[in-house]
Amino acid sequence: MTIHIGVLALQGAVEEHIRSLRRIGAEAVPVKRVEQLGELHGLVIPGGESTTIGKLMRKYGFIEAIRRFAADGKPIFGTCAGLIVLAKRIEGGEEPHLGLMDMTVVRNAFGRQRESFETDLEVAGIDRPIRAVFIRAPLIKEVGPGVEVLSVYRGEIVAARQGRLLACSFHPELTDDSALHAYFVAMAEEAAASGSGAK
């Protein structure tokens, strides 16, 4: 079965995610219309600017459509700003966007001294360290009881999973390492095999 993954193409690193997904054999397409969601086994919400992405999602009807997508058991992967879009709570009073993942996130958490950097990270479920690029990255301040912490950097949570929701603070698409994308595609394959996924 070919797994079809969409990358929400309202703003952010869309082409880079598509390249990473195609590199591991997934069928990847930019998503610009709500109607496309029905053809997908999984959805990536890329980095960019979370407030802008949230406004565009509201403008084009994606908020409720993606909530239904999640309710149908289809996996969603949020990276950097996409992590903020998934969160139930955003520190500082910003209204949540999708409000799907039981976590509190902090925008631009690494501060000006460390706005952009690269490092190797251990991620639960991946058998070797992966390369991660942090760009004015948010972090996960706290998680609810149903959320599994997948990776920590200097004591801060930078990747987590809640059921079929996956989120990370960094940009896996800006490296040649597709291990985290492969992890997400495996989530989509598992969901499709269980009866969730594209009709």
Among positive and negative, which fits the CA dihedral 46, 50, 52, 53? positive
Say which of 4, 41, 173, 181 is annotated catalytic: 173
Is position 168 annotated as part of the catalytic site?
Answer: no
Say which of 4, 17, 41, 171 is annotated catalytic: 171
Among positive and negative, which fits the CA dihedral 87, 169, 127, 176? positive
Radius of gyration for the alpha carbons in the chain, expressed in angstroms and rounded: 15
Is position 49 annotated as part of the catalytic site?
Answer: no
CA torsion angle for 159, 161, 165, 166 (degrees, to 10)? 30
Question: Measured between alpha carbons, how far is 37 from 136 in angstroms, rounded to an integer?
Answer: 29
The number of beta carbons lying within 10 Å of the beta carbon of residue 43 is 24
Is position 80 annotated as part of the catalytic site?
Answer: yes
Say which of 80, 97, 168, 181 is annotated catalytic: 80
Show which residues are catalytic.
80, 171, 173
